């Protein structure tokens, strides 16, 4: 071999090794056990798509049923009032451990901070006791309410995301927040309103229901109002990941209009002021992180598909959600969601990680660079610390939208977790890199 050819071969070999190293940093731990402490082997699969999820895998204790074929969770439905009008709401979290245990809710202590510096971020509501029925709910009198009458509009863009048109199908008024505090109590509850009026309810075009309501089941008439058999609601859930495991969660409210459309959520601009931007795991924060990708791979049968373009192009995101839309339900049950990655989760092994759970997720939108796309490195991600490490060490592959430094895009989404679909999320796939600002550093770095 001539010297020039030998030098060229050496250079090409070195380039191949470098590329293999980069690829390994993106996907190497996806199929291995957790390096952070012996967790379950990771998976990029999105979980079972038939049957009913076993109760043992349900995180939210009050959840009645998780239907994996029709993509819904059935929750107790509570009757409230707004200026003489009937409203219906669900309960998913409480900032107090005792209240959460008593009502079968997720414990989210961070919600106690939701009203810091923002009076409208938490509704102050009143409660009147039931009459003539010792088993009945008291009536919550809300200060604000969503308008479900607008038509939700989503028109895909040239590559799916960003959409060329996005109009929310539900908009909260100036006093509405999903977070409530009953007069006389310091506890903050996550209590999103999902329907208004006395029925029958529109669960096809959602003119009086939230865009994820698939069915409303009234209380059994023969046992008295809400006695023994209360009302319930079926809500379309979302598939995602946490710590390398597939999970399901809800999306009820969002602070950004386009995000609200994509999430089939109520647009609530006031949530932007919840304490505080970039404040995951910081003093006074009510927020947690959620990781989404604007330009991951697409394709209904592509095991690496993920992101907002995938959701729009492959997940029937423009459709009105209903049990009649079998194509939508089939697409979502086979991975057609954006497959976002959540941060802290209620089942994580470390106490401080469980206590850091909040349903209010601050979006960290990631954009794969042209280099990553061209080289096929925009693979499905399932763990927050892998994503943060990738963004920190390879800004040539992953940035915020438009090439900005990776970080918050200031869009907030109310995302109560419901269940996990495979193994219980226990440990992140890797230890956090220095500077990723999670919890207190001593929990990981002791020397």
pLDDT (tens place) for every residue of the chain, 447 residues total: 444 444 444 444 444 434 444 444 444 444 444 444 456 889 999 999 999 999 999 999 999 999 999 999 999 999 999 999 999 999 999 999 999 999 999 999 999 999 999 989 999 999 999 877 667 789 999 999 999 999 999 999 999 999 999 999 999 999 999 999 999 999 999 999 999 999 999 999 999 999 999 999 987 654 444 455 689 999 999 999 999 999 999 999 999 999 999 999 999 998 999 998 888 878 899 999 999 999 999 999 999 999 999 999 999 999 999 999 999 999 999 999 999 999 999 999 988 889 999 999 999 999 999 999 999 999 999 999 999 999 999 999 999 999 999 988 889 999 999 999 999 999 999 988 776 655 555 555 444
Domain count, the chain: 1
Q: What is the DSSP string of 226-258?
A: TSSS--EEEEE-EEEEETTEEEEE---EESSHH
C-beta pairs of 14-20 under 8 Å, 24+ apart in sequence: 19/375
Measured CA to CA, the distance from residue 172 to residue 344 in angstroms comes to: 27
Give domain status of residue 421, yes or no: yes
Strands (E), 23-71: 65-67
pTM attached to this predicted model: 0.90
Alpha-carbon separation of residue 220 from 73, 148, 224, 229, 230 (angstroms): 19, 26, 7, 6, 7
Give domain status of residue 369, yes or no: yes
Give domain status of residue 34, yes or no: no
Token pair listed for 287: 């927020």
Token pair listed for 78: 């509570």
Give domain status of residue 236, yes or no: yes
Measured CA to CA, the distance from residue 348 to residue 128 in angstroms comes to: 38
> Within the chain, how many helices (H) and strands (E) appear?
8, 27
φ/ψ of 16, rounded to 5, equals -65, -40
Give domain status of residue 214, yes or no: yes
Backbone dihedral region for residue 376 (phi beyond 0: left; psi -120 to 50: alpha; all else: beta):
left
Q: 123 forms bridges with which residues in the sheet?
A: 180
Nearest CA to 263 among 274, 249, 277, 253? 253
Give domain status of residue 434, yes or no: no
Give domain status of residue 22, yes or no: no
| Domain boundaries, position 78 | 51-429
Q: Is 218 helix (H, G, I), strand (E, B) or coil?
A: coil
Give domain status of residue 181, yes or no: yes
């Amino acid at each position: 071999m001539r010297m020039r050819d030998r030098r060229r071969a050496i250079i090409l070999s070195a380039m191949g090794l470098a590329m293999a190293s980069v690829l390994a940093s993106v996907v190497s731990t996806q199929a291995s056990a957790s390096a952070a402490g012996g967790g379950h082997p990771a998976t990029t699969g999105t979980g079972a798509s038939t049957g009913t999820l076993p109760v043992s895998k349900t995180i939210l204790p009050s959840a009645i049923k998780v239907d994996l074929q029709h993509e819904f969770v059935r929750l107790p439905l509570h009757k409230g009032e707004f200026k003489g009008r009937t409203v219906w709401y669900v309960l998913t979290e409480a900032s107090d451990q005792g209240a959460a245990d008593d009502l079968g809710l997720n414990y989210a202590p961070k919600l106690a901070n939701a009203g810091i510096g923002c009076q409208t971020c938490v509704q102050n509501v009143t409660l009147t006791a039931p009459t003539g029925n010792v088993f009945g709910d008291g009536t919550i009198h809300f200060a604000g309410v969503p308008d479900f009458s607008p038509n939700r509009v989503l028109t895909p863009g040239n590559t799916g995301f960003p959409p060329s048109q996005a109009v929310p199908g539900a908009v909260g008024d100036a006093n509405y927040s999903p977070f409530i505090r009953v007069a006389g109590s310091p506890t903050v509850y996550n209590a999103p309103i999902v329907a208004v009026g006395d029925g029958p309810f529109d669960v096809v075009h959602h003119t009086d229901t939230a865009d994820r309501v698939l069915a409303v089941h009234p209380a059994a008439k023969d046992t008295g109002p809400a006695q023994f058999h209360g009302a319930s609601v079926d809500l379309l859930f979302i598939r995602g990941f946490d710590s390398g495991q597939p999970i399901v969660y809800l999306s009820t409210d969002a602070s950004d209009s386009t995000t609200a459309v994509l999430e089939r959520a109520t647009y609530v601009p006031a949530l932007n002021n919840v304490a505080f931007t970039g404040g995951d795991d910081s003093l006074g924060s009510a927020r947690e992180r959620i990781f989404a990708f604007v330009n991951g791979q697409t394709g209904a049968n592509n095991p690496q598909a993920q992101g907002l373009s995938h959701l729009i192009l492959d997940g029937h995101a423009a459709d009105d959600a209903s049990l009649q839309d079998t194509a939508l339900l089939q697409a979502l049950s086979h991975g057609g969601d954006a497959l976002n990655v959540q941060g802290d989760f209620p089942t994580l092994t470390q106490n401080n990680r469980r206590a850091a759970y909040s349903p209010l997720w601050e979006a960290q939108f990631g954009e794969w660079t042209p280099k990553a796309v061209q080289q096929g490195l925009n693979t499905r991600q399932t763990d927050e610390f892998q994503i943060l490490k990738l963004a920190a060490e390879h800004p040539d592959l992953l940035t915020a939208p438009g090439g900005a430094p990776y970080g918050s895009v200031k869009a907030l989404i109310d995302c109560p977790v419901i269940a996990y679909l495979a193994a219980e999320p226990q440990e992140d796939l890797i230890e956090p890199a220095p500077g990723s600002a999670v919890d207190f550093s001593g929990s990981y770095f002791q020397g």
